[in-house]
């Protein structure tokens, strides 16, 4: 018995039957004598639909008004879940983000949680209520509603678990846990029993969709053990926690990110300061740059290639064109049909041959590597996006067969 935080994603509450399925999971935990706080996302594609609706009226809606709009998705789902639980004769109360004590920074659309004042939640738990909290939203110091960015409900759940020192934080989703690769693409993908915070962070940043990366960051910071599990199948999921050295695997997973483009700037003068100037122009415009490669110069000229997210490509190219406009023979080339495939594992730090095994798998599948980047716990390669699924399968087979 203790305090259990449960979070249900949009698919898990997408229709009446699923809402009742969630109500059953919630009331079961309550009936076992636990205090239960439940965080829910908006139903199904509600958030996407609301964004489309706003765009139909005004492509340049302010972020403030978008937050007022988007927060309504979670308002619907918390009340519907509470209504379902009421019908099962359990005591329940739903709370919006501001009522639940979510104080955020000022930034609309991607607000960071500054504090969870769990006062009201505690009061409701003392009254023996099941507490249903709207995820993804809070209030800022202007008393305005803010939202935390797409997938933010995971972060809401982890934040409550941290603030209230919960005994368990369970994130229910439409898959059974964290897999060694996306099971929809890689048939042999296996469910992991446990995964380290750092690995999960890399995987969710690199394209694995199960957990929002900010929620993993927060879980790590406050040492909240998070279990990811299925809302449909009653089987153990994956525990995200800090792993001991002995448990470390060379590789925990393979992930792909298709949402990137490669830019090459050719014939850059091979002198100090040029790379700095180029990239500072991009960062001044809030454009994030990832994998960077400078080719060895000829005739005192260099080519530099790097990746950006697809939605930044247009802006990045325009900025670079302006800046390099008066350089002789310099060209801006770009390619959207690339994807980044990465392997992640904390055991990599102490084992040799991991990267070469990955390259071997790609060679055997006759996939050309355009760029490579590495960090302590990951190796990423840039490849043609049409090779993505083949690459995932080949690399996965190499490491997990
Ligand atoms: N409903 C929000 C979204 O779709 C938050 C969430 O699902 O976690 O991004
Ligand atoms: Mg989600």
Looking at ligand 1, which atom is closest to the CA of residue 10?
7
40 CB under 6 A from ligand 1?
no
DSSP string, 57-98: H-TT--HHHHHHHHHHHHHHHHHHHHHHHHHTT--EEEE-TT
User: Taking Cα atoms as reference points, which of 317, 344, 396 lies closest to residue 207?
Assistant: 344
- Residues 153-184: tens digit of each pLDDT: 999 999 999 999 999 999 999 889 999 999 88
Residue 349: pLDDT band with limits 50, 70, 90: confident
10 CB under 6 A from ligand 1?
yes
Q: How many CB atoms lie within 10 A of CB 244?
A: 8
- Give the H or E element holding residue 39: strand 35-40
Choose which CATH entry (3.40.1160.10, 3.90.330.10, 3.40.1710.10, 3.40.710.10) describes domain 3-174.
3.40.1160.10
Structure tokens at 138: 């809070």
Give the Å distance between the CA of 250 and the centre of ligand 2: 28
CATH code, 243-401: 3.30.2130.10
Domain extent listing, the chain: 3-174, 243-401
Please, are residues 400 and 343 in contact by the beta-carbon 8 Å criterion?
no
- Residues 230-261: tens digit of each pLDDT: 999 999 999 999 988 767 788 999 999 999 99
DSSP-derived 3-state class of residue 1: coil
**Minimum CA distance residue for ligand 1 atom 5:** 151
Give the Å distance between the CA of 266 and the centre of ligand 1: 40
- The gap from C-alpha 244 to its chain's centroid, in whole angstroms, comes to 24
Give the Å distance between the CA of 40 and the centre of ligand 2: 10
Give the Å distance between the CA of 143 and the centre of ligand 2: 26
- Ligand at minimal distance from the CA of 171 is 2
**Predicted pLDDT of residue 295:** 87
- Residues 74-108: tens digit of each pLDDT: 999 999 999 999 999 999 999 999 999 999 999 99
Mutate to test the pocket of ligand 1, among 135, 159, 212 (most ligand atoms within 8 A of CB): 135
151 CB under 6 A from ligand 1?
yes
Structure tokens at 177: 């846990």
Parallel/antiparallel/unpaired status of strands 102-104 and 145-147: unpaired
What average pLDDT score do residues 20-42 get? 98
Residue 303: pLDDT band with limits 50, 70, 90: very high
Give the Å distance between the CA of 205 and the centre of ligand 2: 13
Give the Cα separation of 214 and 218 in Å (integer): 6
**Predicted pLDDT of residue 197:** 95
Strand order across the 378-384 sheet: 292-294, 301-309, 253-269, 332-344, 378-384, 371-375
- pTM of the predicted structure, to 2 decimals: 0.87
DSSP-derived 3-state class of residue 234: coil
**Predicted pLDDT of residue 300:** 86
Give the Cα separation of 237 and 61 in Å (integer): 40
**Minimum CA distance residue for ligand 1 atom 6:** 151
Which residues touch 246 (CB under 8 Å, ≥6 apart)? none
Q: How many CB atoms lie within 10 A of CB 276?
A: 9
Give the Å distance between the CA of 41 and the centre of ligand 2: 7
Q: Which value, to the nearest 10 degrees, does the dihedral of the CA atoms of residues 236, 242, 248, 253 take? A: 60
What residues pair up with 115 in beta bridges, in sequence order? Answer: 103
44 CB under 6 A from ligand 1?
no
Give the Å distance between the CA of 394 and the centre of ligand 1: 32
- Ligand at minimal distance from the CA of 148 is 1
Res. 352: pLDDT tops 80: yes
């Amino acid at each position: 018995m203790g305090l259990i935080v449960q979070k249900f994603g949009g698919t898990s509450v997408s229709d009446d039957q699923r809402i009742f399925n969630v109500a059953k999971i919630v009331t079961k935990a309550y009936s076992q004598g636990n205090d239960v706080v439940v965080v829910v996302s908006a139903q199904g594609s509600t958030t996407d639909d609301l964004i489309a609706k706003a765009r139909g009226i005004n492509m340049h809606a302010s972020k403030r008004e978008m937050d007022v709009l988007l927060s309504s998705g979670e308002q619907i789902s918390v009340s519907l879940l509470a209504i379902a639980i009421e019908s099962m004769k359990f005591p329940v109360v739903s709370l919006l983000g501001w009522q639940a004590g979510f104080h955020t920074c000022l930034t609309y659309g991607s607000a960071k949680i500054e504090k969870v004042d769990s006062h009201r939640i505690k009061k409701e738990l003392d009254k023996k209520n099941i507490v249903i909290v709207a995820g993804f939203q809070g209030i800022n110091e202007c008393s305005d509603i803010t939202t935390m960015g797409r997938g933010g409900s995971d972060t809401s759940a982890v934040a409550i678990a941290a603030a209230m020192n919960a005994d368990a934080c369970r994130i229910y989703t439409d898959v059974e846990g964290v897999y060694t690769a996306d099971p929809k693409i890689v048939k042999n993908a296996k469910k992991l029993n446990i995964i380290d915070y750092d690995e999960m962070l890399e995987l969710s940043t690199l394209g694995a969709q199960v957990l929002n990366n900010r929620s993993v960051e927060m879980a790590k910071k406050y040492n909240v053990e998070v279990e990811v599990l299925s809302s449909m199948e009653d089987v153990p999921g994956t525990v995200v926690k800090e792993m001991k050295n002995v448990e470390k695997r060379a590789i925990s997973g393979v992930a792909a990110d298709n949402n990137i483009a490669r830019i090459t700037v050719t014939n850059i003068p091979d002198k100090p300061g040029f790379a700095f100037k180029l990239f500072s122009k991009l960062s001044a415009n809030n454009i994030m740059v990832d994998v960077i490669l400078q080719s060895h110069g000829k005739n005192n000229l260099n080519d530099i290639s790097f990746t950006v997210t697809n939605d930044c490509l247009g802006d990045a190219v325009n900025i670079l064109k302006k800046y390099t406009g008066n350089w002789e023979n310099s060209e801006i080339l770009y390619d959207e049909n690339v994807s980044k495939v990465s392997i992640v594992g904390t055991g990599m730090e102490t084992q040799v041959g991991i990267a070469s095994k990955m390259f071997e798998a790609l060679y055997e599948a006759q996939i050309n590597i355009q760029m490579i980047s590495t960090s302590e716990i990951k190796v990423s390669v840039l490849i043609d996006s049409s090779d993505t699924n083949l690459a995932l399968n080949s690399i996965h087979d190499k490491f997990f067969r």
